[in-house]
Structure 1
Amino acid sequence: MISLTYPWALLLALLPLLFLTRKQNNEPVDAPVIPIGHWLSGMPGVSTSGRASPMWRKLLILLAWLLLVIALGRPQHVGEQIQMPITGRDLMLVVDISPSMEEQDMVLHGRSINRLQAVKRVLDDFINQREGDRLGLILFGTEPYVQAPLTFDRETVRTLLNESGLGMAGRATAIGDAIGLAVKRLRDRPQEQRVAIMLTDGANTAGEISPDKATEIAAAAGVRLYTIGIGAESLLQRGLLGTRRVNPSRDLDEDLLKRMAEQTGGYYFRARSLPELEMIYDSINQLEPIEQEGQFFRPVTELYVWPAGFAIAIWLLLITIRLLQGRHHPIDPEADRG
């Protein structure tokens, strides 16, 4: 529908009535004349022989004035009501991309893949299902960095995750710094919505903030931590002396990850295989969104430029016509003196 932001501006349409001119016999002329008409009549080089302006010119001037008044009223087209997505959680995904994530102890369709590949595959589905949530992405190794700030644009988060590579953030593992950065990005959000999901396959080996200190900061800021330890517990490894069974997750600090989750009201999960990792994110995906009323808005398109543009076009047309008439009918000084 069409509406006016300032409907009272339409009262200006009556302004020409204040400038009605009268003839000597005190009878009104056949059309109102507004100031712009007098201005046009008095232009240099234009005949002012006293002849009345043609009716079509007066009507065009009046039309231009009315269009300008409508433009001042700021007409708008208001579209149909649209419901915004209900806001759920603010989820910050914190992913370890240190070189240890290259360990190929995950299996997909009978083929070995490394841990980061498994994480990308599972998170792709997880991100797709979190409609209504703001998602962010922090990648960390020796140092953490924000790959994607909190956003409703899930496709961008997914793309940036898939473009991440092993070792991009260094060769060590700064768990404390990563959590500290996540808290910094979440602390300005509503307290009930702050959630960080951290996945790692090792222990804290770098950083300026200890994991315990970072956990205290997260708890004080109301950030709930869900920690995931990834990596198989048994793997056959071939060597010169034959095949032996090793634990590829011997460096994983499970006690730390459990403590971090418990102190912030979250949970710790252990992902030894790709199906387990999928189940973990399915469990996290069951977080109940915060119950909020859906927000509605109506798209608004400004229309004032059209009447304003037509009014200017009419006035320019009238000015051009009077200038052309002035060239063909030059002013007679004797007539002016008379």
Structure 2
Amino acid sequence: MSWANPEYFWLLLVVPFFLGYQVWNYFSGRKAQLTFSSLGKLSDIKGNYRAWLTWATPILYTAAYTFIILSLARPQLQNSTIERSAEGIDIVISIDISSSMLAEDIKPNRLIAAKDVAVDFIDKRISDRIGINVFARESFTVVPPTLDYALVSSLIETIDIGMVRDGTAIGMGLATAINRLRDSETESKVIILLTDGMNNSGEIDPVTAGELASTFNIKVYTIGIGSRGTAPYPIDDPIFGRRYQNVPVEIDEEMLQHIAGITGGRYWRATDLEEFIEVYNEIDQLEQSEVEEIIYIDYEEQYPQYLLSGLLFLLLGFVNERFITRSPLLHP
């Protein structure tokens, strides 16, 4: 409910003064002209209904005045209709699932952190088609670009080490993602490539794949994940159980920067979970869908029912005053 002319509410300040005047008028009216030696017998006389209805007159007039003022303030019901159209982005997240992603320099380990942060990123998107592919020695598509975010998030949880032979074929992972986007008709196509190592397998050179992405007007954001120096890597020993070995972190940052540069993207190095989350936040800000909203507002006038109520109370007050009680309150 909204009010088109709320300034009329100031007129309601008259109401307490009017009621106060009626009370003062009643108690300061003329005294009785008849004198009785005793009022004992008069106390047994039952009151007349007109005596009670005397007070109804100012109350009815007050209600009439109030409702008429409310009608002048023009109460309205506001109905809004929003038409929203969005030009979405096609995004493929390409995740390294080589065994080195089990390193725990990013808790609980690199792969779990990569999956969790990717799910949070997907939850923020509005109208973008998002797909997932993974790579180690080979690469395959987990889910092609889709608007079914629940499906994408659930399939991300199934990603694990050992789904393909071990290795790091960055070029193959990038090429698989390109293959999913090359026929897309959207203006903006993006690949988020995540790896923690150096290309050591696969038939496609990563830089060649980057040049192919540039040909198809696909922007590639590259992320190197892992601390600097060494990282604790879990080893399950059949005799001594799980132990940790510090392994060197080797990320081909120069190559990742080159791929991002030739496609118009950017490269980030995430050495801990906070930096990793911030990287995805930056990508989320850089790649925003264009959303256009048209808002239609329809107002439904409610003042007639307030005006009719006010006129009804006014009529009842007039009838009560003139024909039923001949109320003394309004006329001392």
TM range (shorter): 0.5 to 0.7
Quote how far apart the aligned CAs of 1:267 are.
0.1
Whole-angstrom distance in 1 between the partners of 2:207 and 2:231:
34
User: TM-score scaled to structure 2, two decimals?
Assistant: 0.57
Instruction: Verify: 1:181 aligned to 2:176, yes or no.
Output: yes
- Equivalent positions of 1:1-338 (< 5 A) are 86-107=86-107, 113-190=108-185, 192-235=187-230, 248-250=248-250, 252-291=251-290
User: What's the Cα RMSD here?
Assistant: 2.9
CA distance 1:248–1:141, shift in 2 (3 Å)? same
SS in 1 for 2:152: helix
Whole-angstrom distance in 2 between the partners of 1:233 and 1:207:
26
User: TM-score scaled to structure 1, two decimals?
Assistant: 0.56
Q: Which amino acid aligns with 1:134?
A: R
SS in 2 for 1:93: strand
Quote how far apart the aligned CAs of 1:192 are.
2.5
Confirm or deny: 8 A CA contact 2:105 2:231 kept in the other structure. no
CA distance 1:237–1:127, shift in 2 (3 Å)? closer
SS in 2 for 1:106: coil
Whole-angstrom distance in 2 between the partners of 1:147 and 1:82:
35
Where does residue 240 of structure 2 map in the other structure?
Answer: none
Q: Which amino acid aligns with 2:272?
A: S
CA distance 1:92–1:288, shift in 2 (3 Å)? closer
Larger Rg: 1 or 2? Answer: 2
How many pairs were matched up?
209
Whole-angstrom distance in 2 between the partners of 1:235 and 1:177:
26
Q: Which amino acid aligns with 1:121?
A: D
Structure 2 unmatched runs, 5+? 1-80, 234-243, 295-332
CA distance 1:177–1:294, shift in 2 (3 Å)? farther
Structure 1 unmatched runs, 5+? 1-80, 108-112, 239-243, 296-338
Whole-angstrom distance in 2 between the partners of 1:162 and 1:143:
20
Write 1 or 2 for the structure with the bigger share of strand. Answer: 2
Quote how far apart the aligned CAs of 1:179 are.
1.0
Where does residue 4 of structure 1 map in the other structure?
Answer: none
SS in 1 for 2:112: helix
CA distance 1:93–1:214, shift in 2 (3 Å)? same
Whole-angstrom distance in 1 between the partners of 2:276 and 2:265:
17
CA distance 1:87–1:234, shift in 2 (3 Å)? same
CA distance 1:265–1:235, shift in 2 (3 Å)? same
SS in 2 for 1:285: helix
Sequence identity (%): 40
SS in 1 for 2:171: helix
